[in-house]
Amino acid sequence: MVEGVGPWFWIGFNVLVLALLALDLFVFHRKPHEVSLREAGVFSAFWILLALVFNAGVFHFMGRQVGLEWLTGYLIEKSLSVDNIFVFVLILTAFAVPTAYQHRVLFWGVLGALVMRLALILAGAFLLERFQWIIYVFGAFLVFTGIRMAREQERHVDVEANAVVRLARKILPITSDYRGPAFFVREGARRLATPLFVALLVVEITDLVFAVDSIPAIFAVTKEPFIVYTSNVFAILGLRSLYFLLAGVVERFHLLKLGLAIVLVFVGVKMLVVDLYKAPIVLSLGFIALVLTLAVVGSLLFPKATEAQLPHPDHAPTGE
């Protein structure tokens, strides 16, 4: 366990996160509006700077090793979130969510993601502490996930075939159109869900699937819940701003998925051989940074021959 991380730190950290989220929702985005590239860029820079300041504090108070582990975990989670953005674009496009309301969906999606990931991290740490062999299961899962990601051709979201959407329509009465930024509305004596709420459900379930892939990857770096959780939180907090910054261009990074696949296989193998060879954290950080940099630069230098641009969500066909 990291020394000096007691219950009061966990309480204080989560209170700070909730305060930042409240400031975002009730001050900066009190009125629904289309997020401009400039606004998205400013907030993305703010969240990244805040994460680096926190990392500097970790370096100062907890030492170089813990600081490097935190930075590696943050880099893994941040890079995986860029891949997640592409899927979120597809979901919000399929549901034809108006641009002005997309931030609201992502905000509550992030809040739910924080709760789910905390539960998964605590469960993972519990299992690793009591059953050391679980690390081999995590490692094999990551190798499998990386190979599957590398072989995956194109992703698409079929709203009508989505199990979450079908189940929601069976259980909940849903309006046929959007009712502003509301997730629920009342019509007479009935309380109805809106398509915005269904889109939120799909985003939440999708993030849960992403978390199952990404959290074991950080456990390859460290078994310390403090590092895994806080690096996850800072990566997720910047996800909304990064979405609006990259939504229109994320498809251009066509080599990023291959780079992420290599990273997942690398950390999976690192878990599988941990009893034979424990790679220095500097080596892991350097390898991951190099692979991701080459993937991004390679995507820009060698774009797809026929690169299709994603449609703007406001002009996409409805999912109804």
> Tell me: the pLDDT tens digits for 114-160?
888 888 888 888 888 888 888 888 889 888 888 888 887 666 666 66
DSSP state of 93: H
pLDDT of residue 9: 78
Residue type, 24: D
Three-state SS annotation for 58-115: HHHHHCHHHHHHHHHHHHHHHHHHHHHHHHHHHHHHHCCCCHHHHHHHHHHHHHHHHH
pLDDT digits (tens, 9 = 90+) for 158-194: 666 777 788 888 888 888 888 888 889 888 788 888 8
If we measure between CA atoms, which residue out of 181, 305, 244 comes closest to residue 41? 244
Query: Is 65 inside a domain boundary?
Result: yes
- Structural contact between residues 73 and 263, judged by C-beta atoms closer than 8 angstroms: no
% the chain with pLDDT above 90: 6
- Is 230 or 207 the better-scoring residue by pLDDT? 230
Average pLDDT over the chain reads: 81
Average pLDDT over residues 205-225: 80
Question: Number of folded domains in the chain?
Answer: 1
pLDDT at 314 over 70: no
pLDDT of residue 52: 94
Quote the tokens at residue 179: 């009712």
pLDDT at 25 over 80: no
Kind and range of the H or E run holding 57: helix 37-62
pLDDT band at 49; cut points 50, 70, 90: very high
Q: How far is CA 144 from the centre of its chain?
A: 20
| Cα separation, 225 vs 69, whole angstroms | 12
Query: Is 52 inside a domain boundary?
Result: yes
Residue type, 213: D
- Is 291 or 85 the better-scoring residue by pLDDT? 291
Quote the tokens at residue 224: 């310390």
Average pLDDT over residues 262-277: 85
Residue type, 132: Q
| Cα separation, 59 vs 104, whole angstroms | 34
pLDDT digits (tens, 9 = 90+) for 63-96: 888 899 999 989 888 888 777 787 788 888 888 8
| Cα separation, 67 vs 54, whole angstroms | 10
Query: Is 230 inside a domain boundary?
Result: yes
Q: Could you list the residue range(s) of the whole structural domain that residue 234 is in?
A: 38-152+197-304
Out of 2-6, 25-29, 305-309, least confident range? 305-309
Query: Is 190 inside a domain boundary?
Result: no
Average pLDDT over residues 231-256: 81
If we measure between CA atoms, which residue out of 262, 225, 206, 208 comes closest to residue 73? 225
pLDDT of residue 313: 45
Query: Residue written as tokens 């740490």?
Result: 125
- Structural contact between residues 218 and 77, judged by C-beta atoms closer than 8 angstroms: yes
